[in-house]
Chain A
Amino acid sequence: MKTLTMSSLGALVLFAVGCGSTVPPELLSARTAYDRASKGPSAQLNPAGLHSAKETLDAAEHSFDDDGDSQDTKDLAYTAERRSQAAEARTRELLAITQKEDIEKATQAYKDSKGQQTAAELAQAKKALATTSVQLENEKKNREEAERRAAEAQKLLAGFATVKTEPRGMVITLSGSVLFASDKSELLGTAKTKLNQVADSLKQDGRDITILGHTDSQGNEDYNVKLSQRRADAVRQYLISRGVDQTKVKAEGKGKAEPIADNASPEGRANNRRVEIVLGPKTEGSK
């Protein structure tokens, strides 16, 4: 075609271009636009678009060669510039489409991996929960067992001792007549059986224990103090022999100093003859 055009217009071309036409700005812009497009990613991603732009630019160049700064040259150059720009736009569109697909793939991959991770963590959490449930069940059983034993102890103590909560602590009051024969400080056999239950309870209790011996008002005061001390010591020693921590148990003879009933009547005096086991506040590490 070029040859044909050239041969057809040989004389005219020589006349028109021979005078030295100025390259029109449209053609300059078209060259710049194509140059930029051809050096970018369009060469790989949109060769068809780039090829179309190149053909139009070539036509513009031929027109310029043939006709110089003609309207046809300007129109073709104008068209070539648009086609180069369109080729670049199409390439940017393709890049954006690829980018979007990459983002969607990466997001899905992340969600899948996270889903698997979550499933594994969930399984682990369930396992941990099952372990905790077993532990809680065991603790519950232990607590119920302790409560049962405490209730049994209370039942055994009924008729033998009274339990009260006072400002100085929990006070277990044992009747002197149940523990000792008159004027004696050796524990009776039946008393030992009863004290075994008390000892079992106290072994599991972390509180400080004070054992107080009391008498009625009859007899010599000094004698009564010593008798009450011996009785308190006897109870202390027995409890220690049954496993109660000796460092937590102390014994004290009060004599007749702290009566709880009227010493004028036999019943009152019987009530005053007693041994009190006082459980103080729980110390650190107690159960």
Chain B
Amino acid sequence: MMNMKLGMLTFATAATAVVAAAGCGTAYPAPTQRLADAQSANRSAMELGADKQPDAQLHYKLSEEQIAKANVVLKDGDNKRADMMLIRAKADAELALALAKEAKAKQEVQQATDLAKSQTQAVQGTPQ
């Protein structure tokens, strides 16, 4: 799917360049779906604690900033630039989400290790 999108993006970029070079004008569609995708990914990252997790925090903030900038650029009518910003925003949000999930999984490993230690010690300490 992404390949298709990127392919189309590349094609659109190329087409725009070609058309611009030809001296004609055509409207770049407003990236409404891309905006929704980026916002959704950003929310998911936040729900997983990416806004508080040290490794994920930077990418979560970058995602937020790029969505905000994309909205400004959209108002200015530069749909293409906004589209690319949203692609970046979504990538940062998804990285933040992945890092938050990784941190959570590692935390659970630590908890399992601690629990294993306490349980094995409890078993060893059981009067026999």
Contacts and interface: CB of A to CB of B under 8 A. Distances in A.
Interface in B84-99: 84-85, 87-88, 91-92, 94-95, 97-99
A111 B11 contact: no
Contacts of A78: 88, 91
Contact of B108 (A1, A55, A83, A96): A96
Contacts of A85: 95, 98
B128 A118 contact: yes
A5 B13 CA distance: 10
A74 to B, nearest CB: 9
A150 B126 CA distance: 47
B88 A103 contact: no
Interface string A47-90: 00000100110010011001100011001101100110111011
Contacts of B105: 92-93, 96-97, 100
Contacts of A125: 128
Contacts of A145: none
A186 interface: no
Contacts of A28: none
A110 interface: yes
A127 to B, nearest CB: 14
A66 B105 CA distance: 41
A9 interface: yes
A103 B91 contact: no
B101 interface: yes
Contact of B123 (A82, A100, A114): A114
A99 interface: yes
B43 to A, nearest CB: 17
Nearest to A54: B3
Contacts of A103: 109, 112-113, 116
A104 interface: yes
Contact of B109 (A63, A90, A99, A111): A99
Say whether chain B's binding surface is mostly helix, strand, loop, or mixed.
Answer: helix
B11 A1 contact: yes
Contacts of B112: 100, 103-104, 107
Contacts of A107: 112, 115-116, 119-120
A263 to B, nearest CB: 71
A89 B13 contact: no
B18 A12 contact: yes
B15 interface: yes
A71 B84 contact: yes
A258 B128 CA distance: 64
B17 interface: yes
A106 B102 CA distance: 22
Given A8-B15, A83-B91, A106-B116, A96 B84 contact: no
Contacts of B123: 110-111, 114-115, 118
Contacts of B124: 114
18 contacts: A1-B7, A5-B10, A5-B11, A5-B14, A55-B2, A67-B13, A71-B84, A82-B88, A83-B94, A83-B95, A85-B95, A93-B98, A93-B105, A96-B106, A97-B105, A103-B109, A103-B112, A103-B116
- Interface pairs A-B: 10 shortest CB-CB: A96-B105, A89-B98, A82-B91, A107-B116, A59-B6, A86-B98, A75-B84, A93-B102, A79-B91, A55-B3
